[in-house]
């Protein structure tokens, strides 16, 4: 399925979300990186007669990959999970939490502060389509935050980290959301290089979905800032082929993608018409760590999971 229009979570859906995200599952405990012999799905995963576990196992075999999912229907409290407590590299999905912390720390009237950087900063960061065009004039904090979410600009992410207390500041922000599972160790682009024997720069689907639910509660992010974040996630340039492609045409999708090498991820707020949103994290990695990621794996995973909650 495809969603050809960019749209944002409407006021009604967002209001419903704020009252219902408290239903989210608790953050999972640490799980080792690697394929579990017996992946499990929640009991609600067979909703609508669809055996989600079997379908996702089939996708893993087809794509030669490991898939992790945690989806929460905030209207009902139902969840669909698959390898939700296993660790995956988070890649650029982390940027949504860094930007949210910037919005939390910096008042709106101070976000027009102009930040500058060097060409070396851009070169060291890797993929930086926006900041590479503004080495000589810089960007405001708000523009950097938007670039990090909508364009997944790496240098923008690193500059935002500088504003929120660095890697430790972001780790503390996640802990405030209840996420003590995610391990933030490196900036861009090194956070994309995952050691399968360790846990640095990894998370679990359950941890990210729970953190997203906490992030969207009013005590953690002001109403106006939450609306700004959702707006940026709704018209990002990097998510059309991911969860958005797996959602029905008339469902609004606000997401943040991530991908590097064998890793392809998406974290999203998905809002069906006249319903409270579904929060979903899809994390994937190819079994062959030298292989390139595949957008279709994320899209088809989302299609299966969202259908089970439809």
Nearest residue to 44 (alpha-carbon basis) of 72, 23, 74: 72
Q: For tokens 């926006």, name the residue.
A: 130
Cis peptide before 189 (omega within 30 of 0): yes
- The residues that are catalytic are 92
The tokens describing 151, both together, are 């364009």
Residue-wise DSSP of the chain? ----S-----HHHHHHHHHHGGGPPPPPPP--BS--SS--B-GGGGGGG--HHHHHHHHHHHHTEEEEEEEEETTT--EEEESTTSBEE-GGGGHHHHHHHHHHHS-GGGTT-EE---HHHHHHH---TTGGG-TTT-EEHHHHHHHHHHS--HHHHHHHHHHTTHHHHHHHHHHHTT--S------TTGGG---TTS-TTEE-HHHHHHHHHHHTSTTTS-HHHHHHHHHHHHT-SS-TTTHHHHS-TTSEEEEEEEEETTEEEEEEEEE-TTS--EEEEEEEEESSTTSPP-HHHHHHHHHHHHHHH-
Write the CA distances from 112 to 47, 138, 153, integer angstroms.
47, 11, 19
Please report where in the chains the tokens 């900063």 appear, as a residue. 121
């Amino acid at each position: 399925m495809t969603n050809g229009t960019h749209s944002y979570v409407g006021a009604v859906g967002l209001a419903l979300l704020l009252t219902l995200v408290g239903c989210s599952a608790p953050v999972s405990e640490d799980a080792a990186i690697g394929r579990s012999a017996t992946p499990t799905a929640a009991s609600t995963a067979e909703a609508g007669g669809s055996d989600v576990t079997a379908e996702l196992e089939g996708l893993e075999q087809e794509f030669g990959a490991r898939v992790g999912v945690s989806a929460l229907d905030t209207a009902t409290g139902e969840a669909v999970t698959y390898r939700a407590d296993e660790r995956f590299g988070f890649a650029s999905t982390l940027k949504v939490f860094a930007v949210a912390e910037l919005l939390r720390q910096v008042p709106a009237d101070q976000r027009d502060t102009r930040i500058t950087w060097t060409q070396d900063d851009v070169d060291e960061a890797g993929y930086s389509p926006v900041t590479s065009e503004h080495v000589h004039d810089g960007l405001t904090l708000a523009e950097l935050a938007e670039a990090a979410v909508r364009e997944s600009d790496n240098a923008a992410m690193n500059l935002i980290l500088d504003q929120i207390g660095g890697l430790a500041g972001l780790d503390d922000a996640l802990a405030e959301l209840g996420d003590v599972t995610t391990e933030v160790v490196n900036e861009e682009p090194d956070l994309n290089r995952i050691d399968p024997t360790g846990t640095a720069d990894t998370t679990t689907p359950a941890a990210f979905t729970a953190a997203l639910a906490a992030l969207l509660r009013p005590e953690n992010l002001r109403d106006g800032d939450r609306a700004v974040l959702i707006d940026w996630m709704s018209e990002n340039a990097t998510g059309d082929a991911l969860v958005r492609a797996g959602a029905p045409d008339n469902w609004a999708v606000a997401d943040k993608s991530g991908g590097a090498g064998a890793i392809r991820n998406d974290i999203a707020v998905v809002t069906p018409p006249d319903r409270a949103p579904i929060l979903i994290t899809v994390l994937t990695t190819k079994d062959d760590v030298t292989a390139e990621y595949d957008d279709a794996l994320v899209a088809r995973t989302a299609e299966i999971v969202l259908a089970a909650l439809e």
